[in-house]
Amino acid sequence: MPPTPRQRAREAAVDDIKRIARRQLAEGGAGALSLREIAKEMGLVSSAVYRYVPSRDALLTALISDAYDRLGATAEAADAELERDDLAGRWTALAGALRDWARAHPTDYTLVYGPPLPGYEAPPETYAPAQRWFEILIDVLRAGSDEPDPEDPVLCAQLAAVRDRRSPGAPLGGIAAGLAAWAQLHGLVALEIHGQTDFVLGSGAELFGHCVERQVRELGLRAGR
Amino acid sequence: MPPTPRQRAREAAVDDIKRIARRQLAEGGAGALSLREIAKEMGLVSSAVYRYVPSRDALLTALISDAYDRLGATAEAADAELERDDLAGRWTALAGALRDWARAHPTDYTLVYGPPLPGYEAPPETYAPAQRWFEILIDVLRAGSDEPDPEDPVLCAQLAAVRDRRSPGAPLGGIAAGLAAWAQLHGLVALEIHGQTDFVLGSGAELFGHCVERQVRELGLRAGR
DNA sequence: TGTACATCAGTGAACGCGCGTTCACTGATGTAC
DNA sequence: TGTACATCAGTGAACGCGCGTTCACTGATGTAC
């Protein structure tokens, strides 16, 4: 059954609310999210938003959950365009998708990977979508690399736990190198969207590309065919 | 001339204000910094804080500037304990100082490297202290590494500019590797204090140590003597 | 096709709250002669 | 050493503001018979 006009209007209103809310977050941080201001911008009286959103906190939760979802979807779309065995291409695409998405939506990136919002506890239902980008990364890593296993026994135990949960059979050295690369990608992206690479280099694109190339080489990821 | 009792009392009051302010930031983010609340905690009437601090924004500026200063001082202290030619040791110490300081003062770390505070523009006088940690890093890197120069001519031009400003004569491959390592350290620290590595590994210490060891090897940093 | 009723969107007033900042003031602490 | 004056810390009241949320309401849109 198709949605009734009322349902469509309702969904459109909720989308409007979220759109304005995201803009508020982008412009003024979490403290700037204001239901009253949203109502005003929509030409509604302040209490009317409560027809669409139960509370300010619930709206924030929805926005965070959406952000996870969008990053995951972007990553999956980028990954799906490539041959399964083109590991180098897939890694490069995933890294690029992360950077592009973060630059296009810095606020959402900060919601997902940045400092946790004070007084806000992520509800359990956001855990699974939170990990989609990471899942694909681990999937690509499954090919392994020829890095030697780390010596630290504590680290090896931690890595073994990650491996057993996500990627049985992969060598520990590869997992370690993958996590190291993951942290590097995050560092590059975070520094760039916070303006630190601009300050040092003028543009973050080239250093990012360079690092991704090195990662592909170091992780032993091969192009398919 | 020694400070008069009044001056000492004044400085103590300012320190109290900053201490409480830092706690507020840690507990509730930038939005939670409240002059009224500070006054209340000090047993003062709300207008009395204006004897010590001209405005909320000025207090915030002072806190950020303090944070840069403290990180710089911590790094310098860690670096000073080692022989000048013990490059491997100095790099490891700098990395460890960054991580320890960030873990001990996550709010200050976020002020320095995190998302810029909305509506807040860093005043020019904070630029210089902002770079102290980075300066030492570049200083250690001066020894260079045997990484080949990057191929991307745009990146090479950017790296050359950094080199000419900070470290004349260093090979471009070494600068690139140094910046890549810098981003990785930042990524590891940021992910850890935001709870992401805990989620994946349980503890970030071991992966951090592993990565720093690899960096020292890759950057070709030698122990002195 | 028409009518009775339920659902829902939106209104307008009000609640209590905490905020940054100003201002005229009191009284204590310092300084100059 | 004592006195006159300036500096400074702290008070208390007030300003105007925006916020989240509740509640009883009106009127339009849908649904069941």
**Are residues A171 and A198 both part of a single domain?**
yes
Q: How far apart are CA B208 and CA A10, in angstroms?
A: 48
Q: How far is the CA of A39 from the C1' of C11 (A)?
A: 13
A203 and A159 housed in the same domain: yes
Largest Cα separation within chain A, whole Å, is 63
Contact partners, residue A32, CB within 8 Å, separation at least 6: A24, A25, B118
**A129 has pLDDT over 70:** no
Residues A158 and A214 in one domain: yes
Q: What would the pLDDT profile of A52-73 be if each residue is shown by its tens digit? A: 999 999 999 999 999 999 999 9
Q: Any CB–CB contact under 8 A between B148 and chain A?
A: no
Runs of H (alpha helix) within A81-201 = 87-104, 106-113, 127-130, 132-141, 153-166, 172-193, 196-201
pLDDT score of B157 more than 70: yes
pLDDT at A144 over 70: no
Stretch B152-178: mean pLDDT: 90
Q: Which of B127, B133, B194, B215 to mutate to test the interface with A (most CBs of A within 10 A)?
A: B194
Interatomic CA–C1' length for residue B46 and nucleotide D23, angstroms: 35
Nearest nucleotide (CA of B48 to C1'): D10
- Beta-carbon separation of A155 and B206 below 8 A: yes
Which residues neighbour A70 within 8 Å (Cβ) at sequence distance 6 or greater? A101, A105, A108
B119: left (phi over 0), alpha (psi -120 to 50) or beta: left
pLDDT at B130: 65
pLDDT at B159: 94
Same domain, residue pair B95 and B196: yes
* Distance separating alpha carbons of residues A167 and A144, to the nearest angstrom: 10
Q: Is the pLDDT of residue A3 over 90?
A: no
Enter the DSSP assignment of A151.
S
DSSP helix/strand/coil, B36: helix
Report the candidate in B99, B91, B80, B94 with the shortest Cα–Cα distance to residue B220.
B91
Check whether residue A3 and residue A96 sit in a common domain. Answer: no
Instruction: Count how many domains chain B has.
Output: 2
CB-based contact, A183 to chain B, within 8 Å: yes
Mutation site, A34, A117, A126, A182, interface B, largest B CB count within 10 A = A182
Angle at A166 between CA A160 and CA A172, to 5 degrees: 30
Question: Which residues of chain A are within 8 Å of residue B31 when distances are taken between CB atoms?
Answer: 29-31, 118
Residue that is written with structure tokens 């000073």 in the block: B80
Residue A62 lies in a domain: no
Same domain, residue pair A131 and A31 = no
Evaluate if residue B164 carries a pLDDT over 70.
yes
Structure tokens at B96: 């460890």
pLDDT in tens, B100-150: 999 999 999 999 999 988 777 776 666 666 678 888 888 888 766 778 899
- The partner residue sitting opposite A118, judged by closest CB among B32, B201, B209, is B32
Residue A27 or A4, more confident: A27
How much is the mean pLDDT over chain B? 91
DSSP B51-76: GT-S-HHHHHHHHHHHHHHHHHHHHH
In this predicted structure, what is the pLDDT of residue A147? Answer: 82
Q: Select from A158, A194, A209 the Cβ nearest to the Cβ of B206.
A: A158
State the pLDDT at residue A134: 86
Q: Does residue B60 fall inside a structural domain?
A: no
CB atoms within 10 A of CB B13: 17
Q: Which of B134, B135, B133, B125 is nearest to B61 (CA)?
A: B125
CATH of the domain at B40: 1.10.10
Q: Is residue B174 part of a domain?
A: yes
- CB of B209 within 8 Å of a chain A CB? The answer is yes
Q: What tokens appear for B179 in the block? A: 């910046």
The answer on pLDDT for A109 being more than 80 is yes
Tokens (6 digits) for A126: 């956001």
In a domain, A98, yes or no: yes
* Terminal C-alpha separation, chain B: 46
Q: Which residues of B touch A187 (CB under 8 A)?
A: 182-188, 190
pTM for the model: 0.93
Alpha helices in B35-152, H assignment, sequence order: 35-41, 56-80, 87-104, 106-113, 127-130, 132-141
- Chain B within 8 Å of A191 (Cβ-Cβ)? yes
Q: Is residue A60 part of a domain?
A: no
In a domain, A50, yes or no: yes
Q: Considering only the beta carbons, identify the residue of B30, B183, B207 that sits closest to A188.
A: B183
Separation of alpha carbons B189 and A115, rounded Å: 12
Rounded to the nearest angstrom, the minimum Cα separation between A8 and chain B is 35
Query: Residue B111's domain is classified under what CATH number?
Result: 1.10.357.10
| Residues A103, A2 share a domain | no
Q: What is the pLDDT of residues B23-42, one digit of tens each?
A: 999 998 888 999 999 999 99
Q: Is the same domain home to B165 and B207?
A: yes
B8-11: long-range pairs with CB below 8 Å, 24+ = B10/B52
A72 in the same domain as A50? no
A95 and A128 together in one domain? yes
Report the nucleotide nearest the CA of residue A58, measured to C1'.
D20
Task: Give yes or no for residue A123 having a pLDDT over 90.
Answer: no
CB A224 within 8 A of CB A83: yes
CA distance A188 to B181: 10
Q: Residue A171's domain spans which residues? A: 68-219
* B130 and B29 together in one domain: no
In a domain, B77, yes or no: yes
Separation CA A121–CA B32 (nearest Å): 17
- B207 and B138 in a common domain: yes
Contacts of B151 (CB under 8 A, 6+ apart): none
Q: Are B61 and B116 in contact (CB under 8 A)?
A: no
Mean pLDDT of B53-80: 95
pLDDT of the residue at A130: 65
Among candidates B155, B188, B206 on the partner chain, residue whose Cβ is nearest the Cβ of A207? B155
B224 in any annotated domain: no
